[in-house]
Amino acid sequence: MSDLVSGPEIDALVFDVLGTLVDEPAGIRAGLRALDPSLADPAVEQLLSLWQQHVEREQRRILDGVRPYSPSDVLDLEAARRVADAAGVDDPSAVATLALSARRPPPWPDTLAGLARLAGGFPLIGLSNASRTALLGLNAHAGLRWHQALSAEDARTYKPDPAVYRLAVTVSGRPPERLLMVASHAWDLRGAQALGLRTAYVARPAGDPPAPSDRFDLYADDLVGLADRLGRA
């Protein structure tokens, strides 16, 4: 059971965006099918995996200090070029269009209603590894409504670097333990925990499930379930 009710009150909710509120893989899949409508589903999944591996590897290299900071737009364009090469497409305009598919993921079915309900009780802060420009585009495409949306670009690094979570702490003006980080990625919640934020895991098909050793404050199947838990708290 959660121990949230016995801890400090929560003053604001901090949300991961990619994967937690929007179906990031679905946006890229749509871009891949537009790039080459003849691609069969297994080929689409292989190219999606190639994209994800590139972005994850390059973010890790940035976190490790091996590569200077580059915003998500640059990494997505690099990934799109790799994927297009693998698919045998060499049209620069098609590659540029494919790269923008990362900004057009659909929201999960419960996202908009869940955010609207939660916004009635808490300030909502988006905290994303997406660049400022990408975050603007995906917020608009998915219809996400925030009180504040923050990009890791402002810290010139990526989650789970503590500097990214510190952005939310600074903007909120509240101590970390009065903020609740909501994510479908256990690694993201561990990063928030390291800075002292409370944590809520929301299950998503494209997420990173908790390990047996993880201890988060709340667990929910979706945002409606999270709102129910916070309402009871």
Question: pLDDT digit string (tens) for 142-157?
Answer: 999 999 999 999 999 9
In the structure, what pLDDT confidence band is assigned to residue 6 with cuts at 50, 70 and 90? low
pLDDT score of 5 more than 90: no
Residues 98-151: tens digit of each pLDDT: 999 999 999 999 999 999 999 999 999 999 999 999 999 999 999 999 999 999
Neighbouring residues of 154: CB distance < 8 A, sequence distance ≥ 6: 132, 167
pLDDT value of position 207: 83
Q: Return the CA Rg of the chain.
A: 18
Render 8-69 in DSSP notation, one character per residue.
PPP-EEEE--BTTTB-HHHHHHHHHHHH-TT--HHHHHHHHHHHHHHHHHHHHHHHTTSS--
Stretch 77-93: mean pLDDT, rounded?
Answer: 96
pLDDT score of 2 more than 50: no
- Domains for the chain: give ranges and CATH numbers: 4-23+106-232 (3.40.50.1000), 25-103 (1.10.150)
pLDDT value of position 67: 98
Residues 18-46: tens digit of each pLDDT: 999 999 999 999 999 999 999 999 999 99
Residues 182-231: tens digit of each pLDDT: 999 999 999 999 999 999 999 999 889 999 999 999 999 999 999 999 98
